[in-house]
Structure 1
Amino acid sequence: MSGGSKPGFGLSANARAALLQRLSRRSGEAAEAAPAESPGRDLATLPGLRDLEMVRQAGAALGLESPYFRPHEGVAGARTAIGGAPYLNFASYNYLGLNGDPRITGAAKAAIDRHGVSASASRLASGERPVHAELEAALAANYAAEACLAFVSGHATNVTVIGQIMGARDLILHDQLIHNSAAEGARLSGARRIAFPHNDWRAAERELAANRRRHGRALIVIEGHYSMDGDAPDLARFAEMARQHDALLMVDEAHALGVLGETGRGSFEHCGVPPDAVDIWMGTLSKTLSGCGGYIAGRQVLIDLLRHAAPGFVYSVGMAPALAAASLESLRVMQAEPWRVQRLQANAALFLAVAREAGFDTGPSAGLGIVPVILGSSVAAARMAAALFEAGVNVQPILFPVVPERAARLRFFLSAEHTEEEILRTVAAMAAARDGTPLARAV
């Protein structure tokens, strides 16, 4: 059932069109009233700025406060505090509840005492800190890989690595829902890019078979766990395809590490695929591992090249020692306490089942850590998020143009720290908001 179908909760197509027309006219009037600026210095004409202003005006016209950039007054885990009030929180990637764990913060504090706050320069220029190598060795071991390299930014990891290893003569084949960082890396590389329908390995193979011989190298890029829909690919099929067509396979594990597999090792454990079936493992440290940055795990020859040539590593400051220490300790705790992974998966499965039972559209979610609730219009999603916030539940709406208008949604990130009661109260609050019944505060 779509929340957009309920009277008063969404706008009809005609009403939305009329609203946008009024806003467009208002925006144009405001632009005419603004002081003239020479074209080359007129920042008001920057790409996307007018659309952003229209979204802001739409929110104001509908009486909706922006749900973005709210300041959290402490650790944003399964629970948080915003504006002095408590909230159940489903907008954090703190999947295993490790961010804020005393062992993790203790490791970070010890690293600050030893190395200071910053690495102060690139690792190539200023040298290593032991914790960098320890973290990389532990991540390589997770994937049974020869080596690993950590980068200061997760987004920059995909951009700089794909941009470095692929060139104008090459082919990049990627899922149409691939993260922006991988798409930007592909664009930077100059390679030919082909997007295939989401998780459709048959379509991917048809494209690869038809185009492989025209190019030098070929790279297939997929994610192990997609953050928008909460689903996972058939990894074995993609690995087989890569071998058959002499292509490299790269898997983005940003939302898979700590979430997929019996012990959280990621998509290969979840799918029962040997880790060496994937050529390039990419991941981020900002989710399960409580830090910030990205990493690449794979063959030694690849890591050697990236250490000396990838612009996002060579020309960027090294990861802060405290963040490396926090991520290393998080990985150790994840490995020592697999019950956290099992509790996360149980919570996500419960949320998925209860939401579906209540009549909500949860798309293709596998119920492993991420569950979308698809409401069918941006207005419906924004209004539902606002109603839930009033009821003490913090969840972010995903609106057009990030997703197609018909796929506007709320996106719930579950944690091992959520309780069964909190999940049941949250779904009950969603149903009450949809049905127009009074909402009791969830916390």
Structure 2
Amino acid sequence: MQTTQNTFEQFKLNRQLLNAIEEAGYETPTPIQEQAIPLALAGQDILGIAQTGTGKTAAYSLPLLMRIKFAQGQHPRALILAPTRELAMQISEAITQFAKYTDIRIVVLYGGVGPKTQIENVRAGVDIIVATPGRFMDLYFQEEVIVKNLNVMVLDEADKMMDMGFMPQIRKLLEIIPTKRQNMLFSATFSEKVERLSHEFLEFPTRIEVTPQATTAEMVTQRLYEVPNFRTKINLLTSLLRDKETFNRVLIFTRSREVAGLVHQNLLDKVVREDELRVIHANKGQNTRINAMDAFRSGSVRVMVATDVVARGIDITEVSHVINFDVPLIYEDYVHRIGRTGRANQSGEAITFMTIADEYHIKKIENMIRKPIPRAELPADVETEPTPIPERQDMLREIDNQKRKEDPTFLGAFHEKKHSHRPPSKTSSNGGHKRRGLPGRSKRK
């Protein structure tokens, strides 16, 4: 029977891998897989620019498994680094699935839990290690990981590693592993930091860019609501989530764990049952986060509130909506957040809430993705709350800071306002309250 052009058969992988690929439900290679797999099989260094959800893991793991073929010795021959525990676990699960008809041994190393079990797994013999940089270096310095046999190294989500400050650990790692090896670096964006890393890490790489940098998934519909304050955001979120049929699997992103907690509590009070809602952030224990993600992936949890700790690398194919309760301050994270929906040829929708202090960031994001985000009218049932004075002042200060970034000579609206009014009298309830705590005022003793 003649093989059709776009199947995994074209890569001449061994039968064990092809059987596992078929069993996993993969039929047609994605663009990144079509381009990267033949190059990786040929032993070339690769620089891959591709957003999340494009099939990067299979693009490097299938050639890696083909190269290793079978278990051998006690020490790892390949290392895959990922920025977060969640992504490391995701990669490990995917590779284990592809390797199910081989005897190749895969161990995942990450922080947040005790190292005892991980050390025992390494001592039992390992062919491929998937790890976060911190935990890998910890076990290396404890002499639990021997690196002399490493001949393939992969950096996944390299831009996120740079954002999270892993560069010193990666540089230290590059000093200790064998110089003769195949290297592959994958990143959703190609920032200056990633470019510098690629020069240090890769040798005459072939660059693959399957989509323009920082573009958003074609299957994702984007929508933006202009909202005045936190309370109105909550009202809008509550209104949307009442439609359970449409909003059937929703990821809500916030900037901080404090806001995530507030959103979680408000949703419990207003619209979502406790058994269909979870919240995860960096303060949550590892097991709690794993259990929450498993429940969300299975569909038993309808709504997940999260910080950007889960914006990348979590492969849940049927997320109906991503809601940016807060606009991300790292603009590439907008792409990673909304990339959680519209995966595996499924359609999805990304909704963003924008206050006046967010307009600056939205313009930067729109420039990055090279298109405007369509605005939408607030639903008729959403009550617009008045903005409390402290919240409004915080937003105005933020706008002043943004203007100073663009123009260092800008003094700020608060500066002008502060010097154009006389100090309030004791009987001025409004004025005195407005001026309390502004920058530059001397403290009363």
Tell me if both proteins adopt one fold, taking TM over 0.5 as the criterion: no
| Structure possessing the higher relative contact order (Cα contacts under 8 Å, 6 or more residues apart) | 1
Rg comparison, structure with higher value: 2
Q: State the TM bucket, normalised to the shorter chain.
A: 0.3 to 0.5
The TM-score normalised by the length of structure 2 is 0.33
Higher helix proportion: 1
